[in-house]
Structure 1
């Protein structure tokens, strides 16, 4: 229907349109790479203006790899069912997002616990030690989009041509903490995190299906296939909640709330170096900020943990 007015369904973002959201989050959270916008389109629901983004290239990858390209290369992809999938063996992520059928061995608990002898594959240890453990995790923790999806749209939030259902931020734990605290600033509701299922299932798919922010510490696929840094985590936020988060971050900056401190971590801290008998006061940082005298220097050399551990062994 050529005169079908898709714009009726466009979301009114007010002052916080997706481009501004993306630029704002990069600036305020000091992100490395763009937040990733995601949207799911069942059959006959893709606006005609987006058809030009349907991916027909030669890259055969799973969706999380396209997410990384959107994050770092600024590219937009609309993946159609399994047409860009490289085929097994990779992972079940595209099935969790609804782009293709779930492996028939997943339900019985075999995919993550036992290789298939009929396929001529040698034995190796999986994510779970038994089919029973795999089934428990699948029933209690995995989130899987029903296979009624035709397209999964992926774009950098700062240059996103569609209304995001979910925004995924790949960041370090401190950035994740500030993002989630901004979300709970007015609601008081804590975010839920699950580690164990695939990150696609426990983060962005869970957020789509529950309407709640979800984070994950990672999985084999997110580090091995998607290739995020081992120091990074994934935080997914419902698209409709991102303007609230951005507005809170803006308020914090305007009113002088300090989000990030630059004191050195772990063994570089003064209180680690202080001898057993002192001298040191726990609030020395506050004293220093007030212009008061710094703690007295340590009286003996601190032996780093790794060095002490080596001597012990």
Structure 2
């Protein structure tokens, strides 16, 4: 992981100057403020700011729904009720701002979550560092033969060495040419906004990413899942650890109902009822496609 001297100085100054405040403070998140958590070979995630805590979710829900929630006996129970019944706006009262350093190809996957505010390091104005994501050998995998979006067996021996060599050589060569094209040695050179087109997708970029808790949970449900691509999943896992300390009651409900729960279609519910009644239901008699049946059976293995 590489932090610039300016970033390190900013972190040290911020942590050395705590401020008294009347706003809600989450002690669990305070310990994460400004600290950089290492991810991949050169990446990191660090909390820049946050707003709200578990009590903010409860407060918003009671303002919104009034007497409709009085039967819920405590704050944790209310939060679980909101999560269980797919309420969203109370969770939007909490926000998190992160500073993330990540490979460009991971950023392009991440940015598909269009429910956040993003400000990315600009290669039009600045020169990107010579830092590339090079996978560890255990992350070098062949294309899956059953899933066009997934990985298959790990590459071994000479084949793994060949792929690693290509990744390193191509990244270094592309950056060398990037530097040569820039006007750094007295030549006219190429504009930075054009020279950047030659950079590989594994070069590192940085951004500030601000998101509310409802949409953050949606991001984590998809990207912290075991089926998500490893290179984005490790960022999601790091964020999960921070969120768990920030809003423990909400995160516990999220783990239970979203990460650990199962959503069933109407046909899936009917199959389950028939099986509980003792009927021997097959895919052919279920009315479900092979894919739907496979996913239903996998949920209860």
Fold match (TM-score > 0.5): no
Structure 1 length-normalised TM: 0.26
Considering fraction of residues, name the structure with more helix.
2
